[in-house]
Amino acid sequence: MQAKPNHIIPSIFPSSPTKSPPVNQIQLLPPATVPRAISISKPENNHVGSTHPTIDIIDDSITAFWDYQFLFVSQRCETTQPITLRVVDGAIPSDFPSGTYYLTGPGLFSDDHGSTVHPLDGHGYLRAFTIDNVTREVKFMAKYVKTEAQVEEHDSLTDTWRFTHRGPFSVLKGGQKVGNTKVMKNVANTSVLKWGGKLLCLWEGGVPYEIESGSLDTVGKVNMDGYDLTRTDDGNYNGDVWDLAAGMLKPILYGVFKMPPKRLLSHYKLDTSRNRLLTVSCNAEDMLLPCSNFTFYEYDSNFKLLQKQEFKIAEHLMIHDWAFTDTHYILFANRIKLDVVGSMAAVCGISPMISALTVNPSKPTSSIYLLPRFTNNNTATFKERDWRVPVEAPTQLWLLHVGNAFQIKDGNGNLEIQIQAAACSYQWFNFQKLFGYNWQNGKLDPSTMNLKDGESESLPHLVEVYMKLNSDGNCEKCSVLTLNQWKKSSDFPVINPAFSGKKNKFIYAATSSGSRTTLPHFPFDTVVKLNVLENSSQTWSVGSRRFIGEPVYIPKGDEEDDGYLLVVEYAVSVQRCYLVILDPKRIGEAEALVGRLEVPKQWNFPLGFHGFWAAETDG
């Protein structure tokens, strides 16, 4: 397909400059004075070298506003043939293993009829960076996942888009608004996985889509090993009042709103010691009822279902990520509740469906559910505790992403569990303000993601959760500490995957240098390496007006930090994306950057979510 200019979200950009507000009233949405000389393709600073504090603050606010928008620039074009990327710094190391880095995320935020959508509702755009160890070249491809919604909303003959699905986080302006029941738009935009010969793109609210790894063509929906996530007759019901309510909701959710009975969570886990894939699903009706049904699945390397376990928890929960150890699945009880007024507005189509829910900060503690991974576990040296009774962490936190979890048993049967994760406060987390998207005007407001210094502790940050259970299964201690005392806003914690579920020494994450006055906390511009055993940290920053996404670790040798890190750099100042190769051993040194490869400008893509490294030997 011939490359065409990127399509910017129309409603984000003001049609004309506005009058400058006083400095102490500067808002990022809409921006302060936008000089006519500023190009939409490249923000300019008309006061370079100025020493006037008022002008400097306004300039930083303007630039920050535009930089934030350029992280979410729609890319409508696909690459039908692999593109060789140009090395602009360093080189591809000779010992870099052959394989493909897959990165998924939203690719489209506006249609041709006046509607915009939340980034979480943007159609899945799969990017693939294939690294050849022999030729030492990197080939790039990118295609949309051809979900049912994508096929309906995109006219391939005219290459135009019309949004017909609202999406859970969006409303439509140029499409049908009132009475539109198309809300669960499976966009397959959240995570990607290659396992058992299948390349899958996952989304939080439905079944995965299988992708042909060579061409990135969409094969279609896939159900895991014959277990059909679309079945409506599955589930253990005890006849209580909530089971009755669930039975009444099913015809509406499945029939009217076309929701799948089982929602497979987008986060999965790889148990490298057992060579297993672990996934979890919840029931569609759980979104509206004060009880939660979770089904955990474990697959072997050929995608054969080895076991399935179901748990019903008497709390209204919203789980995005989770953890596992040798003997447990671990759920952090992100508590939610039904918003009656929001529900009515959502059903009428005048607010997003997600407005039916809100966070529930009613408890000062955080409940952690330790669910037994195996029944009749002969390897356990302690008495099985009642999993229905959670461990209460002393701090209220909303869990975002897990980096690692592991357990250690001593000779007396005591069990210690540690979880390294990213979490935020209930006060900051807001379903209707994620990424700063305002569904009422379709604009992005970066100030939502950048609180003042006195409030910054509410933002996503790295934590270590520690639990000690005695031989009777009773919790003797539970603590939540800032991981390595790293207090800067951080997310996307990752480790060497060979140490998943084991005691690790190093953890890496995307974080912020804090160098931007207006965007001190997000978007991220730095990779941090934490040594959790020595309580030390080192960083590598990408530079001014450049940001990064989630890092991914590429193992090479036996040592935990013997490998490479891949991260995508979003150089918004020049509208370019780069694939960056880092040496984990040299994070904190000038030689940390091994190589940087440029994606051609016509293929510049928006911020991605989660990625996956598939070694060539994985098939």
CB atoms under 10 Å from CB of 175, counted, come to 18
CA distance 547 to 575: 11
Q: How many residues can be counted in the chain?
A: 619
Question: What are the Cα distances from residue 509, in Å, to 404, 506, 512, 613?
Answer: 12, 10, 10, 16
Q: Is residue 143 within 8 Å of residue 217, measured between CB atoms?
A: yes
Tokens 């100042």 locate to: 573
Tokens for 105, please give them. Answer: 């995320």
Angle at 142 between CA 137 and CA 146, to 5 degrees: 150
Give the SS3 label for residue 217: coil
Long-range CB contacts (< 8 A, 24+ apart) of 514-518?
A: 514/488, 515/541, 515/544, 516/60, 516/64, 517/57, 517/60, 517/64, 518/28, 518/60, 518/61, 518/63, 518/64, 518/65, 518/446, 518/450
Residue 515 CB partners (closer than 8 Å, separation 6+): 525, 541, 544
- Give the β-pairing of 191-195 and 160-161: unpaired
Residue 34 CB partners (closer than 8 Å, separation 6+): 14, 17, 18, 62
Is 123 annotated to bind a ligand? Reply is no
Is 610 annotated to bind a ligand? Reply is yes
- Specify whether the backbone of 105 is left (phi greater than 0), alpha (psi in -120 to 50) or beta: left
CA trace torsion 483, 488, 490, 494 (10° rounding): -40
**Which is nearest to 531 in space by CA: 497, 563, 562, 508?**
508
286 has which bridge partners?
A: none
Is 7 annotated to bind a ligand? Reply is no
Task: Could you list the beta-strand ranges (E) of 147-303.
Answer: 154-155, 160-161, 191-195, 198-202, 209-211, 218-221, 262-264, 269-271, 276-283, 292-299
CA distance 84 to 600: 10
CA dihedral over 250, 256, 260, 263, signed as positive or negative: negative
Helix (H) or strand (E) holding 400: strand 398-409
Long-range CB contacts (< 8 A, 24+ apart) of 219-224?
A: 222/198, 224/279, 224/297, 224/299, 224/303, 224/305
Query: Three-class SS string for 1-61?
Result: CCCCCCECCHHHCCCCCCCCCCHHHCCCCCCCCCCCCCCCCCCCCCCCCCCCHHHHHHHHH
Q: Is residue 436 within 8 Å of residue 446, measured between CB atoms?
A: yes
**Which is nearest to 148 in space by CA: 78, 104, 205, 105?**
205
CA distance 368 to 374: 18
Tokens for 429, please give them. Answer: 């987390």
Long-range CB contacts (< 8 A, 24+ apart) of 374-381?
A: 374/307, 374/327, 375/309, 377/327, 379/326, 379/327, 380/327, 381/409, 381/413, 381/471
**Which is nearest to 526 in space by CA: 458, 588, 462, 618?**
588
Binding annotation: 320, 401, 610
Binding annotation for Fe cation: 320, 401, 610
